[in-house]
Amino acid sequence: MKSISGSGEGHNACIFWAILEVVTGIGLFVMFYILAQNLGVTRSYFGSGSRNGLYYYFMGCGIVLGIACLIFAIAVPSIIMQTYIKVYIDRVEGYGLSKWFYWGNLRTFGFIYPINQVSIDQNGDKLIVHGQNTSYIVYVKNGYEIQRFFWKIKNGEITPDDESSAVPVNRTAPIKKKSGDKWICEKCEEKNPNTSLYCKNCGTYN
Protein backbone atom coordinates (compact mmCIF):
# COMPACT_ATOMS: atom_id res chain seq x y z
CA MET A 1 0.00 0.00 0.00
CA LYS A 2 1.61 3.28 -1.11
CA SER A 3 -0.72 5.53 0.88
CA ILE A 4 -4.24 5.77 2.20
CA SER A 5 -6.74 8.55 1.70
CA GLY A 6 -10.29 9.58 2.42
CA SER A 7 -12.61 12.47 1.65
CA GLY A 8 -15.97 13.93 2.52
CA GLU A 9 -17.47 13.14 -0.88
CA GLY A 10 -20.70 11.23 -0.41
CA HIS A 11 -20.45 11.48 3.38
CA ASN A 12 -23.62 11.11 5.44
CA ALA A 13 -22.86 14.46 7.05
CA CYS A 14 -23.72 16.15 3.74
CA ILE A 15 -27.29 14.86 3.92
CA PHE A 16 -27.52 15.60 7.64
CA TRP A 17 -26.48 19.25 7.26
CA ALA A 18 -28.68 19.79 4.20
CA ILE A 19 -31.77 18.50 6.04
CA LEU A 20 -30.87 20.40 9.21
CA GLU A 21 -30.49 23.71 7.39
CA VAL A 22 -33.73 23.29 5.43
CA VAL A 23 -35.71 22.38 8.57
CA THR A 24 -34.11 25.27 10.47
CA GLY A 25 -34.94 27.69 7.65
CA ILE A 26 -38.57 26.62 7.52
CA GLY A 27 -38.82 26.74 11.31
CA LEU A 28 -37.42 30.27 11.49
CA PHE A 29 -39.75 31.52 8.78
CA VAL A 30 -42.80 30.01 10.49
CA MET A 31 -41.75 31.45 13.85
CA PHE A 32 -41.32 34.98 12.50
CA TYR A 33 -44.55 34.67 10.52
CA ILE A 34 -46.43 33.88 13.73
CA LEU A 35 -44.74 36.81 15.48
CA ALA A 36 -45.72 39.09 12.60
CA GLN A 37 -49.34 37.99 12.77
CA ASN A 38 -49.55 38.37 16.54
CA LEU A 39 -47.42 41.42 17.22
CA GLY A 40 -47.32 43.13 13.85
CA VAL A 41 -51.06 43.52 13.29
CA THR A 42 -53.04 46.11 15.22
CA ARG A 43 -56.58 44.84 15.84
CA SER A 44 -59.52 47.22 15.95
CA TYR A 45 -62.57 46.90 18.15
CA PHE A 46 -64.49 45.41 15.22
CA GLY A 47 -61.92 42.71 14.56
CA SER A 48 -60.25 44.20 11.53
CA GLY A 49 -56.51 44.77 11.64
CA SER A 50 -53.82 46.90 10.10
CA ARG A 51 -50.15 46.06 9.74
CA ASN A 52 -47.66 48.09 11.75
CA GLY A 53 -43.87 48.38 11.63
CA LEU A 54 -43.31 45.17 13.58
CA TYR A 55 -45.14 43.17 10.92
CA TYR A 56 -42.67 44.11 8.21
CA TYR A 57 -39.75 43.70 10.60
CA PHE A 58 -40.68 40.14 11.57
CA MET A 59 -41.59 39.12 8.03
CA GLY A 60 -38.33 40.56 6.73
CA CYS A 61 -36.33 38.64 9.34
CA GLY A 62 -38.18 35.42 8.53
CA ILE A 63 -37.56 35.74 4.80
CA VAL A 64 -33.87 36.70 5.14
CA LEU A 65 -33.05 33.98 7.68
CA GLY A 66 -35.05 31.38 5.73
CA ILE A 67 -33.16 32.15 2.52
CA ALA A 68 -29.83 32.17 4.42
CA CYS A 69 -30.53 28.68 5.75
CA LEU A 70 -31.36 27.43 2.26
CA ILE A 71 -28.05 28.82 1.02
CA PHE A 72 -26.25 27.07 3.88
CA ALA A 73 -28.09 23.85 2.96
CA ILE A 74 -26.21 23.92 -0.33
CA ALA A 75 -22.94 25.48 0.83
CA VAL A 76 -22.20 23.31 3.88
CA PRO A 77 -22.42 19.92 2.10
CA SER A 78 -20.31 21.22 -0.78
CA ILE A 79 -17.64 22.37 1.70
CA ILE A 80 -17.68 19.03 3.52
CA MET A 81 -17.15 17.23 0.20
CA GLN A 82 -13.99 19.28 -0.38
CA THR A 83 -12.25 17.96 2.74
CA TYR A 84 -9.80 15.13 2.28
CA ILE A 85 -6.73 13.57 3.86
CA LYS A 86 -3.90 11.50 2.47
CA VAL A 87 -1.40 9.68 4.68
CA TYR A 88 2.00 8.83 3.21
CA ILE A 89 4.92 7.08 4.82
CA ASP A 90 6.60 10.42 5.56
CA ARG A 91 3.80 13.01 5.72
CA VAL A 92 0.11 13.80 6.10
CA GLU A 93 -1.59 16.27 3.77
CA GLY A 94 -5.04 17.38 2.76
CA TYR A 95 -7.74 20.01 3.21
CA GLY A 96 -9.74 20.43 6.39
CA LEU A 97 -12.16 22.68 8.25
CA SER A 98 -11.26 24.82 11.23
CA LYS A 99 -12.80 24.42 14.68
CA TRP A 100 -14.94 27.47 13.86
CA PHE A 101 -16.76 25.55 11.12
CA TYR A 102 -19.76 25.00 13.40
CA TRP A 103 -19.93 28.77 13.96
CA GLY A 104 -20.25 29.56 10.27
CA ASN A 105 -16.65 29.55 9.04
CA LEU A 106 -17.06 27.56 5.82
CA ARG A 107 -13.50 27.94 4.57
CA THR A 108 -11.23 24.96 3.95
CA PHE A 109 -7.55 25.08 4.84
CA GLY A 110 -4.73 23.12 3.26
CA PHE A 111 -2.28 21.34 5.53
CA ILE A 112 0.86 19.25 5.17
CA TYR A 113 2.87 17.90 8.09
CA PRO A 114 5.82 15.55 8.48
CA ILE A 115 4.65 12.26 9.91
CA ASN A 116 6.50 12.89 13.20
CA GLN A 117 4.86 16.31 13.75
CA VAL A 118 1.21 15.35 13.44
CA SER A 119 -1.40 13.27 15.23
CA ILE A 120 -4.80 12.05 14.09
CA ASP A 121 -7.81 11.40 16.31
CA GLN A 122 -11.03 9.79 15.19
CA ASN A 123 -14.14 11.57 16.39
CA GLY A 124 -17.21 9.74 15.18
CA ASP A 125 -17.55 10.17 11.44
CA LYS A 126 -14.61 12.54 11.08
CA LEU A 127 -10.90 12.83 11.76
CA ILE A 128 -9.23 15.59 13.77
CA VAL A 129 -5.73 16.36 12.48
CA HIS A 130 -3.49 18.03 15.07
CA GLY A 131 -0.30 19.80 14.10
CA GLN A 132 1.65 22.88 15.23
CA ASN A 133 -1.02 24.10 17.68
CA THR A 134 -3.69 23.91 14.96
CA SER A 135 -6.45 21.38 14.38
CA TYR A 136 -8.36 20.55 11.22
CA ILE A 137 -11.61 18.64 10.78
CA VAL A 138 -11.74 16.16 7.91
CA TYR A 139 -14.88 14.19 7.09
CA VAL A 140 -14.13 10.67 5.87
CA LYS A 141 -15.98 7.38 5.60
CA ASN A 142 -12.91 5.24 6.29
CA GLY A 143 -11.60 6.96 9.39
CA TYR A 144 -10.70 3.72 11.18
CA GLU A 145 -8.57 2.45 8.30
CA ILE A 146 -6.77 5.78 7.94
CA GLN A 147 -5.99 6.03 11.65
CA ARG A 148 -4.85 2.39 11.73
CA PHE A 149 -2.48 2.96 8.80
CA PHE A 150 -1.19 6.15 10.45
CA TRP A 151 -0.39 4.43 13.74
CA LYS A 152 1.32 1.56 11.96
CA ILE A 153 3.73 4.09 10.49
CA LYS A 154 4.19 5.85 13.86
CA ASN A 155 4.86 2.52 15.59
CA GLY A 156 7.40 1.47 12.98
CA GLU A 157 5.28 -1.36 11.59
CA ILE A 158 5.48 0.23 8.13
CA THR A 159 8.83 1.65 7.01
CA PRO A 160 10.30 2.97 3.74
CA ASP A 161 11.99 -0.41 3.30
CA ASP A 162 8.58 -2.05 3.12
CA GLU A 163 7.96 -1.98 -0.63
CA SER A 164 4.24 -2.53 -0.17
CA SER A 165 4.01 0.79 1.67
CA ALA A 166 6.43 2.84 -0.41
CA VAL A 167 5.08 6.20 -1.50
CA PRO A 168 6.34 8.79 -3.98
CA VAL A 169 8.44 11.21 -1.95
CA ASN A 170 11.06 12.33 -4.45
CA ARG A 171 9.24 12.79 -7.75
CA THR A 172 12.06 14.84 -9.27
CA ALA A 173 14.21 11.78 -9.75
CA PRO A 174 11.98 8.79 -10.49
CA ILE A 175 13.18 5.28 -11.00
CA LYS A 176 12.72 4.29 -14.62
CA LYS A 177 12.60 0.81 -16.00
CA LYS A 178 15.45 0.57 -18.50
CA SER A 179 15.27 -3.14 -19.19
CA GLY A 180 12.98 -6.07 -18.68
CA ASP A 181 14.47 -7.20 -15.41
CA LYS A 182 15.87 -4.07 -13.72
CA TRP A 183 14.80 -0.64 -12.48
CA ILE A 184 17.50 1.98 -13.04
CA CYS A 185 17.45 4.92 -10.64
CA GLU A 186 18.03 8.18 -12.51
CA LYS A 187 19.47 9.80 -9.41
CA CYS A 188 22.20 7.34 -8.47
CA GLU A 189 22.00 4.84 -11.39
CA GLU A 190 21.62 1.99 -8.94
CA LYS A 191 20.02 -1.15 -10.40
CA ASN A 192 17.04 -2.47 -8.46
CA PRO A 193 14.99 -5.67 -8.82
CA ASN A 194 12.00 -5.46 -11.15
CA THR A 195 9.62 -5.74 -8.19
CA SER A 196 11.15 -2.77 -6.36
CA LEU A 197 9.44 0.60 -6.21
CA TYR A 198 12.06 2.00 -3.84
CA CYS A 199 15.76 2.60 -4.54
CA LYS A 200 17.68 0.93 -1.74
CA ASN A 201 20.73 3.09 -2.44
CA CYS A 202 19.47 6.71 -2.40
CA GLY A 203 15.86 6.45 -1.20
CA THR A 204 14.16 7.55 -4.40
CA TYR A 205 10.65 6.20 -5.01
CA ASN A 206 9.13 5.16 -8.31
The predicted-structure confidence for 52-81, as pLDDT tens digits, reads as follows 889 999 999 999 999 999 999 999 999 999
Instruction: Report the C-alpha gap between 73 and 25 in whole angstroms.
Output: 9
Give the per-residue pLDDT at 60.
Answer: 94
Give the per-residue pLDDT at 61.
Answer: 95
Which of 85, 185, 61, 76 is CA-nearest to residue 135? Answer: 85
3-state SS string for the chain? CCCEEEECCCCHHHHHHHHHHHHHHHHHHHHHHHHHHHHCEEECCCCCEEECHHHHHHHHHHHHHHHHHHHHHHHHHHHHHHCEEEECCCEEEEEEECHHHHHCCCCEEEEEEEHHHCEEEEECCEEEEEECCEEEEEECCCHHHHHHHHHHHHCCCCCCCCHHHCCCCCCCCCEEECCCCEEEECCCCCEEECCCCECCCCCCEC
Give the per-residue pLDDT at 34.
Answer: 94
182 Cα distance to chain centroid: 40
Instruction: Report the C-alpha gap between 50 and 80 in whole angstroms.
Output: 46
* Residue 167 scores a pLDDT above 80: no
Which of 162, 161, 169, 156 is CA-nearest to residue 200? Answer: 161
- Please tell me the pTM assigned to this model: 0.66
Answer yes or no: are the C-beta atoms of 76 and 106 closer than 8 Å.
yes
* Residue 173 scores a pLDDT above 60: no
Instruction: Report the C-alpha gap between 80 and 78 in whole angstroms.
Output: 5
- Give me the mean pLDDT over the 161-176 stretch: 44
Instruction: Report the C-alpha gap between 100 and 105 in whole angstroms.
Output: 6
Instruction: Report the C-alpha gap between 193 and 196 in whole angstroms.
Output: 5
* Residue 133 scores a pLDDT above 70: yes
Q: What is the mean pLDDT of the chain?
A: 80
Give the per-residue pLDDT at 93.
Answer: 93
